[in-house]
Amino acid sequence: MLTSMWKVDKDVDRLITYPQIVEAAQILTKNEVVALPTETVYGLGGNAESDEAVAKIFAAKGRPSDNPLIIHIANLNQLGEIVKEIPDMAKKLIDAFWPGPLTLIFNKKIGKLSEKATAGLSTVAVRMPNHPVALALIEAAQLPIAAPSANLSGRPSPTTAQHVHDDLNGRIAGIMDGGPTGVGVESTVVDCTGDIPVILRPGGITKEQLEGVIGEVSTDPALTDHTQAPKSPGMKYRHYSPNAPLYLVADGVNKIQELVNEKRAEGMKVGVMTTEENVENYQADVIFPCGRRVQLETVAEALYDTLRAFNEVDVDIIFGEIFPETGVGVAIMNRLTKASGYPII
């Protein structure tokens, strides 16, 4: 398949009439799939009402079919068409954080969406992205758009159009290049179907921000207790991994350097994932900084780009620092532990 590339300036007025937007929207109505920028990561969009389009999303990514997709909308009228009701807690969160990096889970209306998009569940995950290109494309297509991250399943999520091209060129109809994303980690997922909202995936909106709007918010115990089955089906899979094995180390610079020395003595090429503050404290074959420790938002923004950067160099093993699990640090550590798949050293 020939994959088209469209460059779109997100600051153009009336983006919905932009020729590239119109062309991509027409492709979506024909049940082909198109990668689009959001404020979190690039998404792989397809018509959420079409079994054919959703099947193409799963095939392009190599994604397990029991892993439901997040439905992206551009206005609240679209939300009313796909969910049974909007609980009061969800209304407050929508008012506070939409458009933005927050996905809400509702009880779905039967018959509107492809059952493949929701993995046959009675619920649906929905968000309104805060990116003018994404919103214009959804409006132009006049469809709810199912859009997981636009990467091969298991690889680090894409934060640039080039990342998408590296993974999916020849597997999808088109890639809409709207520049690098901003938040860097995916949206926070909150289940609004019970009496108390539950965070199923930490992300760009923190628990503290949510509680500032609606009060008590709980967290799926499986996020910290890996012996429990997660409520969100997709969270049971390993994600975000670079090609070389990644090990997270809790004891700081000295312990990481000790491990680096051991592996280099064994003839291995070793990478270190650190922050700007600590780059000069390591001696290794490859050292990549990932943002600034004093400003965790910069770590989140650079996380996937840094993980992907290790695939462009020759390393046999990677050691990485850990981060405090406060604010967006919860999301950072969630992604890093999923990328590692190993116990923290």
Domains and CATH numbers, the chain: 4-234 (3.90.870.10), 246-340 (3.40.50.11030)
Average pLDDT, the chain: 94
List, for residues 267-299, the tens digit of each pLDDT value: 999 999 999 999 999 999 999 999 999 999 999
The predicted structure's pLDDT at residue 224:
73
Cα 250 from Cα 224, distance rounded (Å): 16
Q: pTM of the full predicted structure?
A: 0.93
List, for residues 181-190, the tens digit of each pLDDT value: 999 999 999 9
The ranges of the chain with pLDDT < 70 are 225-239
How many helices (H) and strands (E) would you count in the chain? Answer: 10, 15
Rounded to 5°, the CA angle 271-273-279 comes to: 95
The predicted structure's pLDDT at residue 238:
55
The predicted structure's pLDDT at residue 231:
56
The predicted structure's pLDDT at residue 230:
52
Question: Please, are residues 92 and 178 in contact by the beta-carbon 8 Å criterion?
Answer: no
Question: Exposed/middle/buried for 70, CB within 10 Å: 0-12, 13-18, 19+?
Answer: buried
